[in-house]
Structure 1
């Protein structure tokens, strides 16, 4: 079972990953969502995941935001919460976008599971997927260069 994995910033689902001014590792997403049924079609969140400098889990900061109109249930997409994203980035101080090596974790916030959950395929291999929304799944070799969506 993987104890660490790498998150690499990209222009797709991982625009914000790196190291904050205080040395902590971070991942910020405005694409987190819980599954729901029409007409609600789920809830969207902006989540800032923080790990200590050594890659062990530290804390998560979560804000519920409106889910974008027209986004199909079960599909990730930017929530359009630009001001909140900018506020969360400002909290990081002078941050650097760069690959980070961190441990998977999950934590419940208001009954919703957030984090990076380790799972296992039928063939015995492992994966790590983001929660809520399950729109990013990393797999061996855990280098963060490829992920399933």
Structure 2
């Protein structure tokens, strides 16, 4: 039986910057690909995470800062962590950067017992790649980054 394209996790997927949950994705001055978010969360904490891939899209490193979870934000909901200075500092680390679509590999990296990354998952034979922690962005086939579920 032939495997359908949406029943297999991709080796690469595309992240496209937007005005919603993906404001910072692109290429840093040194050529590395990046994704920066201040909406990462688990049940008790919020995080600012800078995910970096090498120029060829293979995982390089993740830089994480634990911050206060926004007051009044319902459990299980993503929201900006009110860490504007930290976000600006992380962006400055990138040098001159360009916001643009990036094609990268999924990865998972544990930091102080918390999984960070873009993690593949499967439900009823359909694969997705979800951001962790928080699972508030999920990409699906065709993996072009133009649409995602929240």
1:85 to 84, 87, 104: 87
- Map of 1:101-140 to 2, 5 A cutoff? 101-122=103-124, 124-140=125-141
1:13 is the counterpart of 2:39: no
- Taking the aligned partners of 1:145 and 1:76, their CA distance within structure 2 comes to 20
- Taking the aligned partners of 2:106 and 2:70, their CA distance within structure 1 comes to 28
How far residue 16 of structure 1 moved from its aligned partner, in angstroms, is 0.1
How far residue 121 of structure 1 moved from its aligned partner, in angstroms, is 1.3
**In the TM superposition, what whole-angstrom CA distance separates every residue of 1:87-139 from its partner, at most 9, and x where no partner exists?**
000000000000000000000000000000000111x1210000000000000
How many pairs are equivalent? 142
1:73 is the counterpart of 2:75: yes
- Taking the aligned partners of 1:54 and 1:126, their CA distance within structure 2 comes to 23
TM-score by length of 1: 0.95
TM-score by length of 2: 0.94
How far residue 33 of structure 1 moved from its aligned partner, in angstroms, is 0.1
- Taking the aligned partners of 1:76 and 1:20, their CA distance within structure 2 comes to 25
**In the TM superposition, what whole-angstrom CA distance separates every residue of 1:21-73 from its partner, at most 9, and x where no partner exists?**
000000000000012xxxxxx20000000000000000000000000001000
- Taking the aligned partners of 2:65 and 2:14, their CA distance within structure 1 comes to 25
- Taking the aligned partners of 2:10 and 2:110, their CA distance within structure 1 comes to 21
- Listed as ranges, the gaps of 5+ residues in structure 1 are 36-41
- Taking the aligned partners of 2:81 and 2:74, their CA distance within structure 1 comes to 13
- Listed as ranges, the gaps of 5+ residues in structure 2 are 1-8
- Alignment partner of 1:12: what SS? coil
